[in-house]
Structure 1
Amino acid sequence: MINTPLVSVLMTVYNREEFISQAIDSVLKSTYQNWELILVDDGSTDKSLRIIRDYETHDNRIKVFQNKTNLGDYPNRNQAAAYAKGKYLKYVDADDMIYPYGLEQLVFYMEQFPEAGFGLCSLEQDLEKIFPFMLTPEQIYKRHYFEGKLVFHKAPLSSIIRKDVFKAVGGFANVRHFGDSDLWHRLSQRYPLVLMPHGIAWYRKTDGQEASVRRKNPLNRLKTIHSAYKHTVSDNSPLSRKEQEIMKVKFLKLEASAIIFGYRKFGWKKGQEMKKFSGLTYIDIIKNKLG
């Protein structure tokens, strides 16, 4: 018999009146029925709150909350998780959608690997294994950093997380633009990961999204690299000391490349800002870029 645990679908809301109905409707159309939808409005000034309140009156599985003050992206994701009662947390942003069979697939895959802490979908096809399959912490880090098969770049929409492990690692850090990458690194230090295929969730691209804002400032790229370094080269890292030494060199090259990209793409002022943040000298930057 297939297990049907409760899934807490978490939707953070901030001025998404244009798309919010489509996002909610995608959850309502789910073939998997054991879910609750938690919507947390972060001080919207448009009609978003009015729209989600209306949905709440028509389905008792939908619960709406409103923050007293604006928390911002990742803190509001933590707030939504605090209201959750499910075994699993599934983020569906207010301008994205999940396919009708999405929840059913996610639960089916996770329940096959009860020791796993979280799962990530929408990954490139693996040429050696068919999805789903599980990776240990060491395998996760090696896959991303040594095999060139990216894992830590996925957005919250691509994830399903056991609520107990989300709580155990403290949820998302209170940072902007790279909280998802930071969380995947921390979860992967302690828990196995299930990798899953495409076709479960649908991602929309708009100018108002955090991802769009992030790309406009190359300093965010540098901050993401620093965060990854902190988790990869540390006592908590599942990599060996030898592997961590290799990663030190790789991170320096990544940092140098990011700074040079900043100079070329965004000009001298932004490049100087990145150089100052990194602490590298001009010689360090050129040496690591060419080395």
Structure 2
Amino acid sequence: MPLVSVLTTSYNRADFISEAIESVLASTFEDFEYIIVDDRSTDDTYEIAKAYQTRDQRVRVYQNEKNLGDYPNRNQAASYAAGTYLKYLDSDDIMYPHCLDVMVRCMQKYPNAGLGLCAFSDVNAPFPSVETPRSGYLKNFMEIDLFGRAPGSAIIRRDAFDAVGGFTGKRQIGDHELWLMIARQYDVVRMPRDLVWDRQHEQKESLYDDAFKKAAMHLEIVVNAIMANDCPLTTSEKRAVGDQLRSSYNKQFIRELIRGRIKNAMLARKMVKMTRPLTRNAE
């Protein structure tokens, strides 16, 4: 059984997928399988990926019967995996040769952790370090953005992924949602950054019409996470998070009014109201 299942989901990435695949196969860590699931591409993506399957026995390529969409396809890829760890690599990104080696070493140092995330450095501890559910939530909501990481920045223990049900598929920012779900039940390992190159290009999918809509979606996920029955925060800590969020969005509301951006101001006001359940829950 491979220790790591590297998972790539693809849709119309003929211009980039070869580089993504070759970066995985060039890994200095060799105990992995590589699963590629094409979501009914209309270009040559599937054929390009399929050719690699004949060259390297670690590569397995599938194509869905119908287009599933981003996060449902990520779950589909995980369903084929046999590894202890799941490592996603987007079909237009590149994994550095040392990526898997670093991530696996970090996770094995903390065998109880369910998730590893490339994180901002901590002046109090070298990498790797570990956060408990409570310390991770406190750090994320009161200090730094710990969980706002793309799939390429993460490595996931397979049993933790299964325990929370994988990606919900209901939101466009399902990675952030999944990290919060896992972090409520498992320790999280903080790992060095820049192990994967996040390619920027004209074909890069844009999930949001504007930053405010993105922020509103994130806030909905945050509120649900803190309101969850298994949230590791105390009542007073939940109230503190709610107060901090409410203050931030109130300031944003005022700034947008002053600038005459009425639509943005109304959305900021809506986000202020979205924080109310945190206070009601705390009280």
Give TM-score, length-normalised by structure 1: 0.86
**Which residue matches 2:279?**
none
CA contact (8 A) 2:85 2:155 kept: yes
Contact 2:95 2:197 in 1 (8 A): yes
Distance in 2 (alpha carbons) for counterparts of 1:264 and 1:44: 46
Letter paired with 1:171: G
In the alignment, what sits opposite 1:288?
none
Among 203, 212, 225, which residue is 1:218 paired with?
212
How far off its partner does 1:60 sit? Answer: 1.4
Count of residue correspondences: 275
Q: Deviations over 1:134-189 (max 9, x none)?
A: 1100010111112x222111111000001111001000111232211111111110
Divergent runs of 4+, >6 A: 260-266
RMSD: 2.5
What amino acid is the match of 2:204? Answer: Q
Aligned residues with identical type, % of pairs: 39
- Whether the 8 Å CA contact 1:207–1:213 is kept in 2: the answer is no
Does structure 1 residue 202 correspond to structure 2 residue 159? Answer: no
Q: 1:149 to 1:269 in 2, by over 3 A?
A: closer
- Corresponding residue of 1:127: 123
* Distance of aligned partners of 1:266 and 1:218 in 2 relative to their CA distance in 1, 3 Å threshold: farther
Equivalence map 1:71-150=2 (5 Å): 71-121=68-118, 123-146=119-142, 148-150=143-145
Deviation at 1:217, TM superposition (A): 5.4
Q: Does 1:231 align with 2:225?
A: yes
**Alignment deviations for residues 13-64 of structure 1 (CA, whole Å, 9 cap, x no partner):** 0111111011000001011111111111111111111100111111111111
Which residue in 2 is equivalent to 1:26? 23
Confirm whether residue 11 of structure 1 aligns to residue 5 of structure 2: no
Query: In the aligned structure 1, how far is the partner of 2:91 from the partner of 2:168?
Result: 21
Which segments of 5 or more consecutive residues in structure 1 lack a partner in the other structure? 285-291
Tell me the secondary structure at the aligned position of residue 8 of structure 1.
Answer: strand
Distance 1:265 1:136, change over 3 A: farther
After alignment, is 177-186 or 84-93 more displaced? 177-186
Answer whether contact 1:13 1:93 (CA < 8 A) is retained.
yes
Note the 1:15-54 alignment, pairs <5 A.
15-54=12-51
Instruction: Read off the aligned partner of 2:55 and give its amino acid letter.
Output: H
Cα offsets for 1:241-273 (capped at 9, x unmatched): 11011112223234445666777899545655x
User: Aligned AA for 2:84?
Assistant: K
Aligned partner of 2:247 among 249, 253, 260: 253
Q: For 1:145 and 1:269, how far apart are their aligned partners in 2?
A: 27
CA, structure 1 residues 70+266, in 2 after alignment: closer, same or farther (shift >3 Å)? Answer: farther
* Pair 1:171 & 2:157 matched: no
> Shift of the alpha carbon at 1:223?
1.4
Cα distance, 1:278 vs structure 2 = 4.7
CA distance in 1 between partners of 2:34 and 2:8 (Å): 7
Deviation of the 1:108 alpha carbon: 1.1
Q: What is the TM-score when the length of structure 2 is the normalising length?
A: 0.89
CA 1:65 to 1:264, structure 2 compared with 1: closer, same or farther past 3 Å? Answer: farther
Alpha-carbon distance in structure 1 between the residues aligned to 2:159 and 2:148: 23
SS at match of 1:118: strand
In structure 2, give the amino acid aligned to 1:29: A
| Residue in 1 that maps onto 2:281 | none
Residues 186-197 of structure 1 mapped to structure 2, 5 A cutoff: 186-197=181-192
Structure 2 residues not aligned, in runs of 5+: 277-283
2:253 touches 2:269 (CA, 8 Å); kept in 1?
no
Q: Deviation at 1:234? A: 3.5
SS state of the match for residue 23, structure 1?
Answer: helix
**CA separation of 1:150 and 1:71: change in aligned 2, threshold 3 A:** same
Q: Quick one: structure 1 residues 263 and 20, their matched pair in 2 at CA, closer, same or farther if it must change by over 3 Å? A: farther
